[in-house]
Amino acid sequence: MTSTLIDGIGLLVTNNPEVGSLTAERHDAAVVVENGMITWVGDSSGAPAADLRIDAGGRCVIPGFVDSHSHLVFAGDRSDEFEARMVGEKYAAGGIRRTVGLTRDATDAALASNTARLVAEMRAQGTTTVEIKSGYGLNTIDEARSLAIAGQFTEEITFLGAHVVPAEFTDDPAGYVELVTGEMLDACAPRAKWIDVFCDDGAFDVDQARTILQAGQARGLGARMHAGQLGPSDGVRLAVELGAASVDHCTFLSDADVDALASGSTVATVLPGVEFSTRQPYPDARRLIDAGATVAIASDCNPGSCFTSSVPFCIALAVREMHLSPAEAVWAATAGGAQALWREDVGVVAVGKKADLVMLDAPSYVHLAYRPGVPLIHRVI
Ligand SMILES: [Zn+2]
């Protein structure tokens, strides 16, 4: 077993909740890593010897990003839709059906290689944990194989058969909910950790969402939810009521939604790349944090509403457009994402945690927002 000392860290974000402050930062710090785990954290001057040494040269080191919301198993491209939106067309949930057709026609190898490309793109931008959803198969065979492909890249696998109602069920949405909670769930539950539903205009209503999430929970899956993206609904409160790990988007929030998120354990995950790419108003993440809710930031990387794989870009948006401080945004994209996935081993730099570290080509994480669009990831460990 080889130990590695990373010293000369100018600024280390630990997010260690035992320290007290949000990002629990240390200056002139060092970390020792052994067998993929962190075995020591402290001052650079007092660091123990190790087999190998990496000199951070005064750079900032943060936990690897935990991107808790992505849709990477798909085929095709919808850049034409994006182009049309940018010259005035509105985003609607129905575009998903286009990707469904292309995904069903794609081979396993083509889907896996597209997913691999996107996972590599994410990693190069500092993401070390990623959640991947199905949701472009929308029949039993294609949902099950999408999950198998997701499983080649992550353990955070989410069954999203309830993304939209596929074209062949347009006249029978109730029949589709029956399929999702019956035969499709039977095939998919053993391959997934999570169940998700898109609860919004043009997708599934609150009653359908309840039926679908409870069916998944009864099979041992954790619940997560897309809600409040396209308009106000009772979806956010349903997620809290059902004990979902996370409710994602939260673009439209009522006072009651904010109260529910502040008092419950469900994380509010904001996806500011979506608002950027659909030209929608940004979620009021500032209000959520001030109310006491836990906020995570994720990419929602998908071919329709937001095709960025870059968490640094989302951090910059969160700071610029949603008025989070840089520290709050970095916490939300690391420890916040970990909470949204019920993970205690990532998002934190402390003894016994996974050694998922990102060294920035900058003296501070503030540069992630201060220098938007600049490749600041020096090294991913
Ligand atoms: Zn999504």
Say how many Å lie between the CA of residue 265 and the centre of ligand 1. Answer: 20
Cβ neighbours of residue 171 under 8 Å, at least 6 residues apart?
none
Say how many Å lie between the CA of residue 70 and the centre of ligand 1. Answer: 6
Say how many Å lie between the CA of residue 133 and the centre of ligand 1. Answer: 8
Neighbours of ion ligand 1 (CB under 5 A): 300
Q: Would you place residue 252 in the very low, low, confident or very high pLDDT band (cuts 50, 70, 90)?
A: very high
pLDDT tops 70 at residue 93: no
Q: Are strands 295-297 and 222-227 parallel, antiparallel or unpaired?
A: unpaired
Say how many Å lie between the CA of residue 170 and the centre of ligand 1. Answer: 21
Q: Would you place residue 231 in the very low, low, confident or very high pLDDT band (cuts 50, 70, 90)?
A: confident
Say how many Å lie between the CA of residue 66 and the centre of ligand 1. Answer: 15
Say how many Å lie between the CA of residue 248 and the centre of ligand 1. Answer: 8
Say how many Å lie between the CA of residue 301 and the centre of ligand 1. Answer: 8
Determine contact, residues 157/151, Cβ cutoff 8 Å.
yes
pLDDT tops 90 at residue 97: no
pLDDT tops 80 at residue 369: yes
Q: Are strands 3-13 and 52-55 parallel, antiparallel or unpaired?
A: parallel
Say how many Å lie between the CA of residue 52 and the centre of ligand 1. Answer: 41
Largest CA distance in the chain: 69
Task: Give the C-alpha separation, 148 to 68, whole Å.
Answer: 18
Say how many Å lie between the CA of residue 300 and the centre of ligand 1. Answer: 5
* pTM value surpassing 0.85: yes
Angle of helix 96-105 relative to helix 140-150, nearest 10 degrees, comes to: 80
Residue 88: the pLDDT is 85
Say how many Å lie between the CA of residue 6 and the centre of ligand 1. Answer: 36
* Six-digit token string for 219: 């099979």
**Cβ burial, residue 248 (10 Å; 0-12/13-18/19+):** buried
Q: Would you place residue 290 in the very low, low, confident or very high pLDDT band (cuts 50, 70, 90)?
A: very high
Determine contact, residues 123/380, Cβ cutoff 8 Å.
yes
Say how many Å lie between the CA of residue 63 and the centre of ligand 1. Answer: 23
Q: HSE (CB half, 13 Å, CA atoms) of 50? A: 25
Say how many Å lie between the CA of residue 215 and the centre of ligand 1. Answer: 20
Say how many Å lie between the CA of residue 326 and the centre of ligand 1. Answer: 24
Say how many Å lie between the CA of residue 278 and the centre of ligand 1. Answer: 13
Q: Would you place residue 20 in the very low, low, confident or very high pLDDT band (cuts 50, 70, 90)?
A: confident
pLDDT, tens only, 311-328:
999 999 999 999 999 999
Say how many Å lie between the CA of residue 36 and the centre of ligand 1. Answer: 30
pLDDT, tens only, 174-199:
999 999 999 999 999 999 999 999 99
Residue 300 or residue 89, greater confidence: 300
Q: Which domains does the chain have, with CATH numbers?
A: 3-63+347-380 (2.30.40.10), 65-340 (3.20.20.140)
Q: Label residues 36-62 b or e (16+ Cβ within 10 Å = b).
A: eebbbbbebeebeebeeebebeebbbb
Determine contact, residues 202/164, Cβ cutoff 8 Å.
yes
The amino acid at residue 260 is: A
Cα separations (Å) of 7 from 31, 59, 126, 329?
A: 6, 10, 19, 25
Say how many Å lie between the CA of residue 96 and the centre of ligand 1. Answer: 11
Cβ neighbours of residue 228 under 8 Å, at least 6 residues apart?
200, 235, 236, 247, 249, 250, 251, 252, 253, 257, 283
Say how many Å lie between the CA of residue 262 and the centre of ligand 1. Answer: 22
Determine contact, residues 368/160, Cβ cutoff 8 Å.
no
Say how many Å lie between the CA of residue 162 and the centre of ligand 1. Answer: 11
Say how many Å lie between the CA of residue 372 and the centre of ligand 1. Answer: 23
Say how many Å lie between the CA of residue 46 and the centre of ligand 1. Answer: 45
pLDDT tops 90 at residue 1: no
For the chain, the average pLDDT equals: 96
pLDDT, tens only, 126-182:
999 999 999 999 999 999 999 999 999 999 999 999 999 999 999 999 999 999 999
Say how many Å lie between the CA of residue 56 and the centre of ligand 1. Answer: 36
Q: Count of CB atoms within 10 A of residue 151's CB?
A: 15
Say how many Å lie between the CA of residue 69 and the centre of ligand 1. Answer: 6
Residue 92: the pLDDT is 64
Say how many Å lie between the CA of residue 85 and the centre of ligand 1. Answer: 18
Say how many Å lie between the CA of residue 71 and the centre of ligand 1. Answer: 6
Determine contact, residues 69/40, Cβ cutoff 8 Å.
no
Say how many Å lie between the CA of residue 2 and the centre of ligand 1. Answer: 39
